[in-house]
Amino acid sequence: MNPWIDITVPLSPGMAHWPGDRPYEVDRVEDMSRGAVMNLSAISLSAHTGTHMDAPLHFVAEGPAIDRMPLDAGIGPARVVAIRNPARIALDEVGSCDVQPGERILFKTVNSNSEWWSEPFQERFVAIPADVAAHLAARRPALIGVDYLSAGAFQGDGVETHQLLLGAGIWLVEGLALTHVDPGRYELVCVPLSMAGVEGAPARAAIRRVQAD
């Protein structure tokens, strides 16, 4: 069996986070180096920090929350699709990959958004514009993944992108680490924390190559 590849961005203090969101912070409440009998941490973060999943509730008022996600939305065959356009995940490239209903598609950007996690937030990351979101919504994949903090752009039509994708019942995994991953077919395991009534949650994601293209 081929080894699993962890495509999760580790949570760490000082990592890039969406402007205005609560950053990731860790408070060591009990510390053995200070004489405690155990180590115990308290954490604070936005639900959309690092590698995380968006539930429809994020932009759909009556949509399901993250604890309602069917596990098979994030577990099963997946495709990593290389995007060569340096500005956007464009319709010509997405259209050529012939997304099918129920598929799990992970977009790897040409300059790899994944490189920016240790730097301040990057406003000009490669995202899915609304016209492509409409195309994907019509195709009805089970899951779409991207390699920075949001499927939609920081400015412009980012809200519409989320509304289209989540409104179509597509689960989103954002903040994937795909720098060292080749395009192709994989087995995916991506499961968020089950947080009742919440619109998103941190997730752990891993892939295993099953077939070379």
pLDDT, tens only, 162-179? 999 999 999 999 999 999
Q: Is a pLDDT exceeding 60 seen at residue 11?
A: yes
Which residues does the annotation mark as catalytic? Answer: 58
The predicted structure's pLDDT at residue 211: 61
What is the arithmetic mean of pLDDT over 112-137? 88
Mean pLDDT score across all residues of the chain:
95
| pLDDT recorded at residue 204 | 98
Q: What are phi and psi of 195, to 5 degrees?
A: -115, 110
Strand, helix or coil for residue 76: strand
Q: CB under 8 Å to 33, separation ≥6 — which residues?
A: none
pLDDT given for residue 2 in this prediction: 67
Question: Does residue 117 have a pLDDT over 90?
Answer: no
The residue among 5, 3, 24, 2 whose CA lies nearest residue 149 is: 24
- What is the average per-residue pLDDT within 168-193? 96
Nearest Cα to 78, choosing from 19, 135, 4?
4
The answer to whether the CB of 50 falls within 8 A of the CB of 202 is yes
Q: What tens digit of pLDDT does each residue of 72-116 get?
A: 999 999 999 999 999 999 999 999 999 999 999 999 998 756 677
- 16-68 pLDDT tens trace: 999 999 999 999 999 999 999 999 999 999 999 999 999 999 999 999 999 99
Compute the distance between CA of residue 125 and CA of residue 122 in angstroms, rounded to an integer.
6
Q: What is the C-alpha to C-alpha distance for residues 68 and 167, in angstroms, rounded to an integer?
A: 15
Helix axes 130-139, 158-167, angle to 10 degrees: 0
d(CA 35, CA 38): 9
**What average pLDDT does the segment 192-211 reach?**
95
Rounded (to 5) percent helix, strand, coil in the chain: 20, 30, 50
- Decide which of 118 and 166 is more confident: 166
Q: Where in the chain does DSSP place strands (E)?
A: 5-6, 25-30, 40-44, 52-54, 75-83, 104-109, 143-145, 171-174, 184-192, 200-211
Look at residue 152 in the predicted model and tell me its pLDDT. 98
Q: Percentage of the chain surpassing pLDDT 70?
A: 96
Q: What is the pTM of this model?
A: 0.94
Burial class (CB in 10 A: 0-12, 13-18, 19+), 35: exposed
Q: What backbone phi and psi angles, to 5 degrees, belong to 83?
A: -110, 120
Q: What is the pLDDT of residue 99?
A: 97
